[in-house]
Structure 1
Amino acid sequence: MLLLNLDRASAVPLYLQIAQQLAARIDAGALAAGEALSPTRLLAQRLGVNRSTVCRAYAQLQASGHVESSAGGYTRVRARAAATDAARTSDGHFDWGSRLRSATSPAQSVQAVGDGIDFRPLAPDPRLAPMDALRRAMKLALADDAASLLDYPSPLGHLPLRQWIAERMARLGAPVTADSVMLCNGAQHGLDLVFRTLLAPGANVAVEAPGYACANALIAQHGANAIGVPMRNDGLDLAALGAVIAQHRPAALYTMPNFQNPTGITTPIAHREQLMRLCETHALPIIEDGFAEDMKYFGRAVPPLKALDRQGLVIHVGTFSKLLFPGLRVGWIAASPALIPALAATRGTADLGGSALPAAALWQLCASGEFDRHLRRLHTEYRRRMQRLIRATRTWLTGERVRCSVPQGGYVCWVEVDGGQAGTHADEAELIAALAAAGVRVTPGAGCYPAGHTPAGAAFRLSIAQADEAAIERGVQRIGEVLRARRP
């Protein structure tokens, strides 16, 4: 019998130490299939433990499939099917990499040095979050109907919040009712539900280039293809979109008309009207991402595409995550009443409707007026930040080689660099690394394009979501210094 070493001072129970050590020997082949283990009474005497301790250890081994026993017989090592090497990696573990549907890999982070300034986050600044108001809202929601909120919810989500969203969208001109709104766990979950419902494997989706990287990755994960349509200063290149429709016959168009991520562009009403007519002509569904639609700082508000929708083509996806608390994960889908049941059925196969409590708490915030008061505070703060960013780019990022977008709202600004050492796509990684070395972290532009679409030059995205005015000024100044140092 192999010796076992028990540590009586360990927090691990003795029976589990016995089971683990015997299991390790069985796995290593030191105990062969069919070999009998020592009788429980004899092993207990050798180890100086109670017989019940050994019995529990053998029961643990039997539960894990290492041994088997029969009434009145010995406990023997169980014969198990030998693992093949075909599905193993070099360290002997199962090769999950060979089974993944998508070849996408996690984004590589670059560590900055010194007092780093991070222009990457898109979540709102937690320093601005109305925490006390949320605590009160949670208490009120539970006091109103705790039993209902903690039960399985409706697949469409909390009705009072859906009614509030529908009324708010109706004031923007969108023909929306509570029955055509379904809550979801943030905009990303909403996009996933839409893609799962609409896209067959191999389908094509027209997307903005540059555009939202996570949407492109999500399309790929569903076995579909993201087909890039170039962005112009006023939005999608509609002539290019027409060519994509004719050549690729996409199943849908994904677009972000307000404060587009990553460029910050807001499309004017005339462009939206032309886009709607084009999609109506070709019966092309539009997935409108309104991720930061309420964050308008300058100029007049432009109605969402859903407000121009005469045929029920537009699926509007919204979220509270970019305005309040990202961790609550509450967003919504506003679509044709003919589509909502299919989306609800898709969701029902995955999470049975999500959690009602966060939605109920958010409704308390909205119904009390706290949401609108918070939104006004956000506008005041982020208007100052965006003004500082625009002034800083005009001061520090000057010259023919650099072009910066001028957003009317939202959180992001797009910077393109032409010519010189930083003028090619291959040089973008070097530029991003140089910025990181200077203590500035930005989002690389190359990741904002769909697979197969190679941008002409280097670019990156700046986000002011969590950078205050002082950090914005210092960060853009450092970017300018890096760009000037790289000039030929």
Structure 2
Amino acid sequence: MHIEIQRKSETSLSNQIFQSIVDHIRSGLLQEGSQLPSVRELSKELGVSLVTVVKAYKELEKNNFTTSIQGKGTFINIEETATKETKKEEPPFNWQLSIQDYLPRAQFSRFHYVSDEIQLSSSMIDPGLLPNRYLEQEIHKMLLENPRILSQYSEVQGDLKLREAMSQYLKQFEIPTTPDNLLITNGSQQGLDLVARTFVGPGDVVVMESPTYPGAIDIFRGRGATIITVPVDGDGMKVDILQNLCDKYKPKIIYTIPTFQNPTGAVMTQKRRRKLLNIAKSIQSIIVEDDPWSEIYFDKKPPAPIKSMDYYGHVIYLKGLSKTLAPSCRIGILSASGSVFNRLLAAKSNADLGSPLLTQKSLLPFITSNKMIDHLKKLRTALKLRRDMAIDLLLKYAPEEISWMIPNGGLNIWISLPVWIDTNQLLIEARRNHVTFLPGSACYPVEQEKYHLRLSFSYMSEQQLQLGIRTMCNIFNAEITSKKKNSNMPYF
């Protein structure tokens, strides 16, 4: 178990230890029933006092993550879902715990795909809304015309024809780029990973929105970054707070999702986008602008990306095609300039020597035709209907104590419950009813806010969506009713 201690952080050492162990537990890196190192062992390993470790372990037990047994040690609690019928005897692999790893957190993968359940946890689009048949025909056609494509490598930078097409595609977002400044990645997740492995090392300061995309938290935490958070409101990242933080810290990276922010759905105003870019210019920082679904707007178009105003190479722009077009192809676009781009290209070469040529060629005819435009129009209409259905169901069945943000685009609804509710515990009950959602704690890089959740309305059929939301509302009502009967505490 790797615990990164940052002695210059304003977060106490005991709280850093607590947070790191919680991240390991929620990521599945520490299994239920596993024994934690003794207080003395961990104190020696981390170079901290016994009192510091004791304080962290007490906090773990207080929050029901662990149980301490006198004379035996401290153990990870077993979830309530485990029964004698479902629990299996553990294989004799405990020796592997002695092998050091460097994974501080990997929470997002646990919620990215769950089979045989009503998935409200994953920001994916119903496969029935995607152009599967057309892409299938294009793949067959390509293989017939060029069977040797299966034995060919792509350029490390990506297929030139696809980069030319994507350069034209990005012009609709007012992004000034050329094929030479584009890098084809295995989804935007790889783009994030390339940025992190190229520019972020232990102790480097990374600013992130709070809450934010869990997959980005996992990547930057994995590089040992010191993460500073800036809250989000309905107009996106609060850049006034960012400005004050930048007076104290000099972040190397500022990570933002300005358009239909994940998980809140907020859209950063044009004024804030411009101010954010000016801040980055003044302190010589890089903005990583993640743009997974700006095409999925339900009313008016969102403001142009920050990259559209970037004339000095401060913005690394990430655009994914997986969500809106073909998840299995895992195609993403990275746009950057100057030596920043050259270094990212070198990192891509080290990572995989280039993305698969077959999938790049498969998407090319679709992107260069009017079918792409028609597909996005239909997709916006279909997802708006599902968003409206989800909001109507919440208005009808959710208790008055909960609130949510109505997104004007994207795939998610951010829901807030009374502060005393832990959505990680609600997820246990939801899974008993074959429903999943993303607990809000996965979206916070530093804070421990456990009373939010992200509901994705885009993947399930309308019938499944209706059943899933009604089931969740029943769970909300039961939890709040139970608390009212047994406590005099406030509910808001």
Task: Report the TM-score, using the length of structure 2 for normalisation.
Answer: 0.73
Task: Measure the CA separation in 1 of the matches of 2:331 and 2:384.
Answer: 25
Give, in angstroms, the shift of residue 398 of structure 1: 5.0
Q: Which residue of 1 aligns with 2:464?
A: 471
Unpaired stretches in structure 1, ≥5 consecutive residues: 1-88
State which of 431, 438, 441 in structure 2 corresponds to 1:436.
431
Task: Specify the code of the residue in structure 2 equivalent to 1:136.
Answer: Q
| Alpha-carbon offset, residue 136 of structure 1 | 2.2
The alignment of Structure 1 onto Structure 2 pairs a total of residues equal to 388
CA distance in 2, matches of 1:107, 1:335: 26
8 Å contact 2:299–2:408 — kept in the other structure? Answer: yes
1:96 deviates by 5.6
Counterpart in the other structure of 2:455:
462
Contact 2:317 2:336 in 1 (8 A): yes
Q: Which residue of 1 aligns with 2:203?
A: 202
What's the offset of the Cα at 1:211? 0.5
Report the Cα distance in structure 2 between the residues aligned to 1:251 and 1:144, rounded to whole angstroms. 47
CA contact (8 A) 2:107 2:214 kept: no
Q: Deviations over 1:331-380 (max 9, x none)?
A: 11011143222111111112111211111111122123332232222122
- Residue 403 of structure 1 aligns with an amino acid whose one-letter code is S
Q: Aligned equivalents of 1:216 and 1:132: distance in 2?
A: 35
Q: What residue number does 1:390 align with?
A: 391
Structure 1 residue 146 displacement after superposition: 5.0
Aligned-pair identity in percent equals 27
2:326 matched to 1:332? Answer: no
Q: Return the index of the structure with the highest Cα Rg.
A: 1
Is structure 2 residue 397 aligned with structure 1 residue 404?
no
Tell whether 2:227 aligns with 1:233: no
Structure 1 residue 216: Cα displacement:
0.6
* Equivalence for 1:447: 442
Matching residue of 1:137: 138
Greater alpha carbon shift after TM alignment, 128-137 vs 355-364: 128-137
CA distance in 2 between partners of 1:218 and 1:97 (Å): 24
Q: Which moved more, 1:180-189 or 1:242-251?
A: 242-251
Q: SS of the residue aligned with 2:99?
A: helix
Q: Is the 8 A contact 1:195 1:222 kept in 2?
A: yes
Give the CA RMSD over aligned residues: 2.5
Aligned-partner SS, 1:315 = strand
Quote how far apart the aligned CAs of 1:485 are.
2.5
Deviation at 1:459, TM superposition (A): 0.7
Q: Give, in angstroms, the shift of residue 473 of structure 1.
A: 2.9
Residues 140 and 364 in structure 1, CA contact (< 8 A), matched pair in contact too: no
**CA distance change for structure 1 residues 105 and 277 in 2, over 3 Å: closer, same or farther?**
closer
Take 1:102 and 1:365, find their aligned partners in 2: how far apart are those partners? 38
Asked if the contact 1:229/1:241 (under 8 Å) is kept, the reply is yes
Residue 230 of structure 1 aligns to a residue in which SS? strand
Change beyond 3 A, Cα 1:368–1:289: same
Contact between 2:293 and 2:323, CA under 8 Å: does it hold in 1? yes
Q: Which residue matches 1:415?
A: 415
Higher mean C-alpha deviation, range 265-274 or range 431-440: 431-440
Q: Kindly report which structure 2 residues correspond to 1:264-283, keeping only aligned pairs within 5 A, or say none.
A: 264-283=265-284
Deviation at 1:326, TM superposition (A): 1.2
CA deviation after TM superposition for structure 1 residue 269, in Å: 1.7
The question of whether the paired residues in 1 share the 8 Å contact of 2:121 and 2:436 is answered with: yes
Name whichever of 472-481 and 180-189 sits farther off.
Answer: 472-481
Q: Distance in 2 between matches of 1:394 and 1:206?
A: 35
Q: Is 2:210–2:230's contact at 8 Å kept on the other side of the alignment?
A: yes
Q: Would you say the 8 A contact 2:273–2:306 is kept in 1?
A: yes
Matched to 2:266, the amino acid is I
Distance in 1 separating the partners of 2:295 and 2:98: 41
Structure 1 residue 448: Cα displacement: 0.7
In the alignment, the residues of structure 2 paired with residue 368 and residue 93 of structure 1 have an alpha-carbon distance, to the nearest angstrom, of: 55
Deviation sequence 1:380-433 (CA, Å, 0-9, x none): 21111112122222333352x312011111110100012xxxx236x3323333
| Change in CA separation of 1:107 and 1:153 when aligned onto 2, cut-off 3 Å | closer
Change (3 A) 1:132 1:475: closer
Q: 1:133 to 1:431 in 2, by over 3 A?
A: same
Cα distance, 1:92–1:338 mapped onto 2, change above 3 Å: closer
Q: Is the 8 A contact 1:140 1:361 kept in 2?
A: no
- Correspondence for 2:474 among 470, 476, 481: 481
Amino acid at match of 1:415: I
Question: In 2, distance between residues paired with 1:382 and 1:432?
Answer: 25
CA contact (8 A) 2:107 2:218 kept: no
User: For 1:245-394, what aligned pairs fall within 5 Å after superposition?
Assistant: 245-394=246-395
State the shift of 1:137 in Å. 1.7
**Deviations for 1:241-299, whole angstroms, at most 9, x for unmatched residues?**
12332333211111111111111112222222222222222222110111112111122
CA–CA distance in structure 1, aligned partners of residues 153 and 109 of structure 2: 39
Residue in structure 1 matched with residue 51 of structure 2 by the alignment: none
Residue 21 (structure 2) aligns with = none
Distance 1:370 1:143, change over 3 A: farther
Q: 1:90 to 1:432 in 2, by over 3 A?
A: closer
Amino acid at match of 1:264: G
Whole-Å separation in 2 of the counterparts to 1:447 and 1:97:
27
1:247–1:261: structure 2 CA closer, same or farther, 3 Å change rule?
same
8 Å CA contact 1:141–1:364 kept in 2: the answer is: no
Deviation at 1:470, TM superposition (A): 2.8
